[in-house]
């Protein structure tokens, strides 16, 4: 111990460091209590942040996994009042009518794909024809969304293969279709059977069900090849939408902005399409920080209380030290160093215990509720090194702050008063 | 009782060649405790203590003996008058300078040893040095270990206070008071908490240290035999200090015996 002290502590602080260490080592229950209070604070912070940020990651992943991160479409023409397009000589009143749906062609989509693919952070670009259609087998047509796209590209945008419960998606032929399990149930079809698809433009064709998938999120789209989609919806060689998948989903806004700057099309990021989702994430983040702050404040108060008792118990010792020439700031340092010692040991202990708890929690799995589902974690915890570090630093700061008051009290003690 | 003088201790010392230098001098020293009721304790105390002297302070309980000692040791500030230690008027010093001054010039021994439980006997005895310098040099350690041997604690240097007897702890406290080679040691009933044999042993050691190193000792005591063994006896009575002869002290003690 003394060797360590001589090696690491500058000479002028050795007395204070040594006394603080001895206080802690001989403190028994009090030291255990304060160290536990710090550890408890750190454990709560680690637990809360791992759970909430883990949950957020999971939710974001679930949401963004199956959707394009940026969607490129033709800009909706702004409705203009009549007064603006006439010369104003005639009195005119105008009412903006709801626009009728129109076919919006992206004719030069190869150029769009090429331009977007050259941008950084882009994982995949898929030109797509998407539209509404009726699907039927015999009687009762059922409405569904149809996505016509190259399976290899579309599978990156929305991982269909992963969710397949039978059949295939990759290698889809022009007369084949992949449908959602719910739709398959409603139509009472299985893979290999044929169904009829009729589009809004009244083009109709029959398809073999090549695959059935289940995503567990309500009814999903039906998938056909790009060529099939184009002829089904009458797009010729055009598409109506280009989907973009990114590497970093949180940069969707800036990628969308760049696309808008480069191309004469509308580009929407997923964050703009789900603003309420993002705001709920922010509320969760704020509550995680609040709970963390309160738990650290609570442990700070506990530490301050124990340290004040320990200062009072040591008042005679403080008196004799002062009579021997110990200066105020030396006494102050002793008790702040004690707080620092408690903080370091406590936060390390909290780190070990907190991470262990989180790791144990991550072992629990949810019961499987749908067919073909791989079991998922009950607690989607994430151990985030940044928040581990933050928890430790915050705990150390709050503990040292809590130690200041008792330390000042000790430093102010008058030897004549305390040694009577 | 020495009358107030306006020449400094140094000049006086030079004038009185042959006598050891004055290490402590008080001039019209007054102390009143202010509170709901103001309690005047010392009304103007003048005396000098020279190097090599061993002075006993006697007086009834509450007469202000401890107050006087705290003032001499710069632990407390006077209401009026001055304390000059080794030529320095301590009322001119700020709190940090006083702390420095105490660690340099003054050693304290209290009725209770007040050793730190967390430190060994040697570490406790070295405290005045470690407080001042951060840690103790090899020479300091050797010197203090030698002192501990001298007071019979050679085999106890690594023991903690709780592992030693009251007398041993008090002997360790004596070594601690001397560790920084102070000019004066102030002892407030150093034997008051010990059985008579340990008390005598502690006193004998203090006297020995006083003779060998020449450091002046001021000792408050209720033990009349110890007072008799000092060089001088100062009596505090009615807020004033009177120097009394040993003969006078004996008479006063005898008059109390029925």
Q: Cβ separation of A25 and B118 shorter than 8 Å? A: yes
258 residues of chain B, pLDDT tens digit each: 344 444 455 555 555 567 889 999 999 999 998 888 988 899 999 999 999 999 999 998 888 888 999 999 888 889 999 999 988 898 888 888 888 888 889 999 988 889 999 999 999 999 999 998 888 889 999 999 999 998 889 999 999 999 999 889 999 999 999 998 899 999 998 888 888 888 888 899 889 989 988 999 999 998 888 999 999 999 999 889 999 998 898 888 888 766
Phi and psi at A47, nearest 5°, equal -65, -50
Q: What is the pLDDT of residue B5?
A: 42
Q: What are the domain boundaries of chain A? A: 2-63+279-419, 75-264
Contact A109, A127 (CB under 8 A): yes
Residue B5 belongs to a domain: no
Which residue in the set B103, B114, B118 is minimally distant from A325, CB to CB? B103
Question: Which residues are bridge partners to A5 per DSSP?
Answer: none
The rounded distance, in Å, linking the Cα atoms of B51 and B18 is: 12
The rounded distance, in Å, linking the Cα atoms of B118 and B106 is: 24
The rounded distance, in Å, linking the Cα atoms of A26 and A203 is: 87
pLDDT: which is higher, A191 or A96 = A191
Which residue in the set A22, A319, A325 is minimally distant from B131, CB to CB? A325
Which residue in the set A15, A23, A415 is minimally distant from B130, CB to CB? A15
Q: Cβ separation of B70 and A319 shorter than 8 Å? A: no
On the question of pLDDT at A154 being above 80, the answer is yes
Cα dist. B169→A416, B65, B148, B166, B222 in Å? 21, 24, 11, 5, 20
pLDDT: which is higher, A202 or A156 = A156
- The nearest alpha carbon in chain B to A5 belongs to B135
The rounded distance, in Å, linking the Cα atoms of A19 and A335 is: 9
Contacts of A316 in chain B (CB under 8 A): 114
Give the distance from residue B12's alpha carbon to the nearest chain A alpha carbon, in angstroms: 29
Angle, CA of A153, A261 and A73, to the nearest 5°: 45
pTM: 0.74
Residue B4 belongs to a domain: no
For residue B233, the enclosing domain spans 10-255
Tokens standing for A133?
């259609």
Contacts of B103 in chain A (CB under 8 A): 324-326
Phi and psi at B4, nearest 5°, equal -60, 135
Which residue in the set B96, B108, B116 is minimally distant from A323, CB to CB? B108
Contact A154, A160 (CB under 8 A): yes
On the question of pLDDT at A216 being above 60, the answer is yes
Work out the end-to-end distance of chain A between its first and last CA atoms, rounded to an integer number of angstroms: 34
Q: What is the pLDDT of residue B95?
A: 86
Phi and psi at B154, nearest 5°, equal -55, -35
Residue B52 belongs to a domain: yes
Q: DSSP letters of A306-342?
A: HHHHHHHHTHHHHHHHHHTT--HHHHHHHHHHHHHHH
Contacts of A419 in chain B (CB under 8 A): 110, 114
Residue whose tokens read 């502590």: A9
Give the distance from residue A330's alpha carbon to the nearest chain B alpha carbon, in angstroms: 9
Secondary structure letter of residue A378 according to DSSP: S
Q: What is the pLDDT of residue A222?
A: 93
Which residues neighbour B74 within 8 Å (Cβ) at sequence distance 6 or greater?
A: B83, B85, B90, B93, B98, B101, B102, B106
Which residue in the set A11, A316, A415 is minimally distant from B135, CB to CB? A11
Percent of chain A residues past pLDDT 90, beyond the cut: 35
Interface test with A, best of B99, B107, B129 (most A CBs within 10 A): B99
- Chain B touched by A322 (CB under 8 Å): yes
Residue B47 belongs to a domain: yes
Q: How many Cβ contacts (< 8 angstroms) between chains A and B?
A: 75
- Chain A touched by B99 (CB under 8 Å): yes
Residue B246 belongs to a domain: yes
The rounded distance, in Å, linking the Cα atoms of B38 and B42 is: 12
**Looking at the 3D structure of chain B, how many domains does it have?**
1
Contacts of the segment B230-233: beta carbons below 8 A, 24+ positions apart:
B230/B54, B230/B55, B230/B56, B231/B53, B231/B54, B231/B55, B232/B53, B232/B54, B232/B55, B232/B56, B233/B55, B233/B56, B233/B57, B233/B58
Question: Which residues are bridge partners to B32 per DSSP?
Answer: B40
The rounded distance, in Å, linking the Cα atoms of B226 and B213 is: 20
Q: Cβ separation of B134 and A323 shorter than 8 Å? A: no
Contacts of B131 in chain A (CB under 8 A): 15, 321, 324-326, 330
Whole-number CA gyration radius for chain B: 18
Q: DSSP letters of chain B?
A: -PPP-SS-HHHHHHHTTTSPPEEEEEEEEEEEE-SSS-EEEEEEEEEEEETT-EEEEEE-TTSSHHHHHHHHTTSS--SEEEEEETTEEGGG--HHHHHHHHHHHEEEE-SS----TTS-HHHHHHHHHHHHHSS--HHHHHHHHHHHHHTT-TT-TT--GGGS-HHHHHHHHHHHHHTT--SEEEEESTTTTS-HHHHHHHHHHHHHHHHHH--EEEEE-S-HHHHHTSSEEEEEETTEEEEE-HHHHHHHHHHH--
Residue B1 belongs to a domain: no
Interface test with B, best of A324, A338, A412 (most B CBs within 10 A): A324
**CB-based burial label for B6 (10 Å; 0-12, 13-18, 19+):** exposed
Residue B3 belongs to a domain: no
Q: Cβ separation of B118 and A26 shorter than 8 Å? A: yes
Contact A155, A169 (CB under 8 A): yes
- Chain A touched by B4 (CB under 8 Å): no
Give the distance from residue A366's alpha carbon to the nearest chain B alpha carbon, in angstroms: 54
| Residues counted in chain B | 258
- Chain A touched by B94 (CB under 8 Å): no
Residue B118 belongs to a domain: yes
Percent of chain A residues past pLDDT 70, beyond the cut: 91
Contacts of the segment A73-80: beta carbons below 8 A, 24+ positions apart:
A73/A104, A73/A106, A73/A240, A73/A241, A73/A265, A73/A266, A73/A268, A74/A104, A74/A105, A74/A106, A74/A240, A74/A265, A74/A266, A75/A264, A75/A265, A75/A266, A76/A266
Kindly provide the ipTM of the predicted complex, given to two decimals. Answer: 0.86
Least Cα distance to B50 among B18, B81, B90, B98 occurs for B18
Give the distance from residue B235's alpha carbon to the nearest chain A alpha carbon, in angstroms: 21
- Chain B touched by A11 (CB under 8 Å): yes
Residue whose tokens read 């700057």: A261
CATH number at residue B241: 3.40.50.300
Phi and psi at B131, nearest 5°, equal -60, -40
- Chain B touched by A377 (CB under 8 Å): no
Give the distance from residue B162's alpha carbon to the nearest chain A alpha carbon, in angstroms: 13
The rounded distance, in Å, linking the Cα atoms of B152 and A290 is: 62
Q: What is the pLDDT of residues A360-409, one digit of tens each?
A: 988 888 777 665 566 777 888 888 888 889 888 988 998 888 889 889 98
Residue whose tokens read 């200062």: A311
Tokens standing for A171?
């290698």
- Chain B touched by A23 (CB under 8 Å): yes
Q: What is the pLDDT of residues A66-95, one digit of tens each?
A: 889 999 998 776 666 666 666 666 666 666
Least Cα distance to B27 among B81, B87, B88 occurs for B81
Contact A40, B152 (CB under 8 A): no
């Amino acid at each position: 111990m003394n060797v360590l002290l001589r090696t690491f502590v500058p000479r002028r602080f050795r007395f204070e460091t040594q006394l603080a260490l001895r206080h802690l080592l001989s403190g028994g229950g009090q030291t255990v209590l304060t160290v536990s209070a710090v550890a408890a604070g750190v454990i709560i912070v680690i637990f809360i942040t791992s759970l909430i940020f883990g949950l957020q990651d999971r939710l974001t992943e679930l949401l963004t996994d199956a959707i394009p991160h940026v969607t490129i479409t033709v800009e909706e023409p702004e409705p203009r009042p009549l007064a603006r397009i006439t010369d104003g000589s005639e009195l005119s009143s105008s009412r903006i009518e709801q626009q009728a749906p129109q076919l919006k062609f992206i004719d030069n989509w190869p150029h769009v794909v090429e331009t977007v693919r050259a941008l950084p952070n882009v994982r995949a670009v898929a030109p797509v024809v998407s539209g509404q259609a009726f699907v039927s087998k015999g009687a009762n047509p059922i409405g569904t969304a149809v996505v016509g796209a190259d399976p290899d590209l579309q599978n990156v945008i929305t991982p269909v293969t992963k969710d397949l419960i039978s059949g295939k998606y990759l290698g889809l032929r022009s007369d084949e279709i992949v449908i959602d399990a719910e739709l398959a149930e409603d139509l009472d079809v299985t893979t290999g059977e044929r169904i009829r698809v009729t589009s809004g433009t009244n083009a109709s064709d029959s398809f073999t069900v090549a695959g059935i998938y289940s995503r567990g999120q309500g009814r999903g789209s039906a998938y056909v090849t790009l060529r099939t989609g184009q002829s089904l919806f009458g797009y010729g060689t055009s598409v109506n939408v280009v989907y973009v998948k990114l590497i970093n989903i949180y940069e969707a806004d800036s990628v969308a902005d760049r696309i808008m700057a480069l191309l004469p099309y509308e580009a929407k990021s997923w964050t703009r399409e789900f603003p309420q989702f993002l705001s709920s994430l922010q509320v969760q983040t704020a509550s995680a920080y609040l709970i963390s702050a309160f738990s650290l404040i609570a442990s700070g108060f506990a530490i301050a209380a124990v340290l004040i008792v320990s200062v009072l118990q040591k008042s005679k010792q403080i008196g004799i030290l002062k009579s021997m020439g110990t200066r105020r700031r030396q006494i102050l340092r002793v008790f702040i160093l004690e707080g620092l010692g408690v903080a370091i040991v406590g936060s390390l202990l909290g780190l070990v215990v907190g991470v262990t708890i989180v790791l144990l929690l991550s072992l629990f799995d949810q019961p499987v509720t749908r067919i073909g589902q791989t079991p998922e974690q009950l607690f989607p915890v994430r151990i985030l090194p940044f928040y581990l570090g933050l928890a430790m630093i915050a705990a150390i700061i709050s503990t040292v702050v809590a130690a200041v008051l008792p330390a000042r009290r000790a430093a102010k003690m008058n030897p004549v008063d305390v040694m009577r | 009782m020495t009358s107030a003088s306006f020449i400094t201790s140094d000049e006086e010392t030079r004038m009185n060649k042959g006598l050891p230098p004055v290490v402590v001098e008080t001039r019209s020293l007054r102390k009143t405790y202010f509170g709901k009721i103001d309690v005047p304790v010392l009304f103007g105390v003048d005396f000098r203590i020279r190097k090599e002297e061993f002075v006993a302070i006697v007086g009834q309980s509450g007469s202000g003996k401890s107050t006087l000692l705290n003032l001499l040791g710069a632990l407390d500030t006077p209401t009026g008058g001055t304390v000059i230690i080794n030529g320095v008027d301590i009322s001119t010093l700020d709190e940090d300078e006083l702390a420095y001054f105490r660690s340099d010039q003054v050693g304290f021994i209290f009725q209770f040893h007040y050793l730190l439980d967390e430190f060994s006997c040697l570490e406790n005895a070295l405290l005045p040095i470690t407080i001042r310098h951060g840690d103790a040099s090899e020479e300091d350690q050797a010197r203090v270990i030698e002192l501990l041997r001298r007071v019979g604690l050679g085999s106890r240097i690594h023991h903690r206070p709780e592992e030693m007897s009251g007398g041993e702890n008090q002997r360790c406290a004596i070594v601690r008071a001397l560790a920084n080679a102070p000019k004066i040691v102030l002892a407030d009933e150093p034997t008051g908490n010990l059985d008579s044999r340990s008390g005598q042993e502690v006193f004998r050691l203090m006297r020995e240290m006083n003779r060998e190193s020449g450091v002046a000792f001021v000792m408050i005591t209720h033990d009349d035999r110890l007072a008799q063994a000092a060089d001088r006896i100062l009596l505090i009575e009615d807020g004033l200090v009177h120097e009394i002869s040993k003969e006078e002290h004996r008479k006063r003690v005898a008059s109390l015996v029925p």
